[in-house]
Structure 1
Amino acid sequence: MEKQRLLVVVRHAKAEQFAASDVERVLSDRGREDGRALGEWFAAQGITPDVAYVSYAARTRETWDVVADGAGWGLAPQIDGNLYGTDETGVLELVHSTPDDASTVVVVGHNPTMAMLVQLLDDGEGQASGEIELGSFPTSAAAVFTVDGTWDDVVPVGCRLVAFHVGRG
């Protein structure tokens, strides 16, 4: 039997409204505070990633930095250009490429993809199922799923939502 794994889906923290382009938008002061608070929550839960996939947008990279700082993580993330514009299928393909020895994966991305992914994966049986309003996944939100089996077993309605938290500083 395969070991149990954790998949953590994170939406970037609150960003400034305007920049030269959407991809260049950075976090607002509130976003930096909220991201750090989310990291502190991860630390309190004992969640430490082996692999992190982060969109190349400025706000997701900065979210990773403040969350990792708050959590005490030293892991260098894998910056992925496809996470910026992909859909749920694209995220699943990325997760499926995760090395087998990884126990915990964090994905930091954007809505609507992160919200749709969370709804897609939830098997409805986890202690946090029902906590996320359909179509809603606010900034600095994290959904923690258990995965029984390999990373290829991350499939629609195939993961258990065990925790949901919104970081607020």
Structure 2
Amino acid sequence: MSVDVLRRIVIVRHAKAEWAEEADHERPLAERGRRDAPVAGRWLASAGITPELTLCSSAVRTRETWKLMVHELPQRPKTVYEDRMYEASLGELIALINETSDDVNDLLLVGHNPSVHALADALAGDAEGDALARMARGGFPTAAIAVLTFQGSWKSVEHGAGRLTAYWSPQE
């Protein structure tokens, strides 16, 4: 497979979580999160985004978000629940992306702020329309989605490598 194909990275922040007495990793979605996650999945489906691989943080709220989103998609991608995404730094998220096989063209990440917002910001070398301004203004709220494209191998993903083609938030 050629590494010059157009690839897509979809970055999702988990939906709204409860502020419960559980350890942070075990926090479940709040009622609003359980409403927003399927809406986010429907947005992905309506945008024609069908990832081949999803890397999802192992935290309860990210797993619940993805399970509610994926039911809205026309096909279920391979999903890997990745412990390294919980509390990951920007560099650690880029390293995970760099590990992706070039057999995958569309990759979706479900993670946490501030790292998912930092990742979308860092990868967006340019943007279509007002997507970058809307993302900056919105602050990447819960259940927000950023879609970026780039050409090349996953190993070549670095700061400024992508083009922000879409930004969506349930609060817009």
Q: Check the 8 A contact 1:35/1:67 in 2, yes or no.
A: yes
Once the two structures are superposed, the pairs formed by residues 35-54 of structure 1 within 5 Å of their partners are 35-54=37-56
Q: Distance in 2 between matches of 1:55 and 1:137?
A: 17
Look up the SS of the partner of 2:135 in the other structure.
Answer: coil
Q: What whole-Å deviation, never above 9, does each CA across 1:16-41 have from its counterpart, x for those lacking one?
A: 11132111101112101101000001
Q: Of the candidates 107, 122, 125, which is equivalent to residue 105 of structure 1? A: 107
Q: Of the candidates 120, 123, 146, which is equivalent to residue 122 of structure 2? A: 120
Q: Which moved more, 1:49-58 or 1:115-124?
A: 115-124
- Structure 1 segments, 4+ long, off by >6 Å, are none
Look up the SS of the partner of 1:132 in the other structure.
Answer: helix
Q: Of the candidates 62, 65, 89, which is equivalent to residue 63 of structure 1? A: 65
- Paired position in structure 2 for 1:167: 170
Look up the SS of the partner of 1:130 in the other structure.
Answer: helix
Look up the SS of the partner of 1:91 in the other structure.
Answer: helix
Change (3 A) 1:134 1:156: farther
Q: Of the candidates 18, 21, 28, which is equivalent to residue 19 of structure 1? A: 21
Q: Displacement of 1:75 after TM fit?
A: 2.4
Q: Distance in 1 between matches of 2:140 and 2:62?
A: 15
Q: Distance in 1 between matches of 2:151 and 2:128?
A: 13
Unaligned runs of 5+ in 1: none
Amino acid aligned to 2:44: F
Look up the SS of the partner of 1:146 in the other structure.
Answer: strand
Q: Check the 8 A contact 1:87/1:113 in 2, yes or no.
A: yes
Q: What whole-Å deviation, never above 9, does each CA across 1:116-155 have from its counterpart, x for those lacking one?
A: 1111111124332222126811000000000111112211
* 1:136 correspondence with 2:139: yes
Structural RMSD (CA): 1.5
Q: Check the 8 A contact 1:147/1:153 in 2, yes or no.
A: no
Unaligned runs of 5+ in 2: none
- Paired position in structure 1 for 2:154: 151
Give % identity.
35
Q: Distance in 2 between matches of 1:144 and 1:160?
A: 8
Amino acid aligned to 1:160: R
Q: Check the 8 A contact 1:115/1:135 in 2, yes or no.
A: no
